Chain A
Amino acid sequence: MAKPIELEVNGKRYSVQYPPDTPLLSVLRDELGLTGSKYGCGEGQCGACTVLISGAPKRSCMISVSTVVGKPVTTIEGLEKDGRPHPVQQAFLDAGAFQCAFCTSGMIMSSVGLLQGNPKPTDAEIIQFMQGNICRCGTHPRVIEAIRHAAGMAQEPRS
């Protein structure tokens, strides 16, 4: 049996027994039941599995579970505070920035990561930062609108 791995996810401590190279995403979903982070490709290409590790957005399908020991992990389930949506979640709601919404968790986590490092990004910076998140339904303009809104910037008319 593998040695227990100590994790801190959404402020809670967990001890899990998995092979050390297991993707963090698998542990989050299959062991901890945190299924808000999605499997979209398993190759770090689509961004649906994005979580914050020590505050930085990372593709959890590409991160071995053993490498996040001692680093706080935040998933989409950890964003709400006192039952209230995070401002980025609220901005996505206000913009209606989803269709099938399978990409939405990853989009929101990437957006939170972007705004933590750059509270007032330009459109070019938003596009550059979000390039790794795929939305197959084509909701990109509303995601950009939601990020602008969350950053407290003027909204342009919705297309």
Chain B
Amino acid sequence: MQPTGSAAEYWKANLRLLGILMAIWFAVSYVFGIMLVDVLNKIHLGGYPLGFWFAQQGSIYTFVILIFVYARQMNKLDLKFDVHED
């Protein structure tokens, strides 16, 4: 059985948001930090080779931002689909 109306749409909107955020999560760590590290290391950010910076600094900052963006967007969705607490 499938849920009807707003609950189903709420879940869909949630999954869409997850998809976008997970793509960024994957890009900053696996792609920039590991797969493309040699290419990016040719560029420098101050004294940091860029790929190395993503692996040891940049990915972590991005993760923090991702979670807060997620929390904010989900709180908005909760209200929009009227599934928020109290």
Q: Do A and B come from one complex?
A: no
A residues adjacent to B (C-beta < 8 A): none
B residues adjacent to A (C-beta < 8 A): none
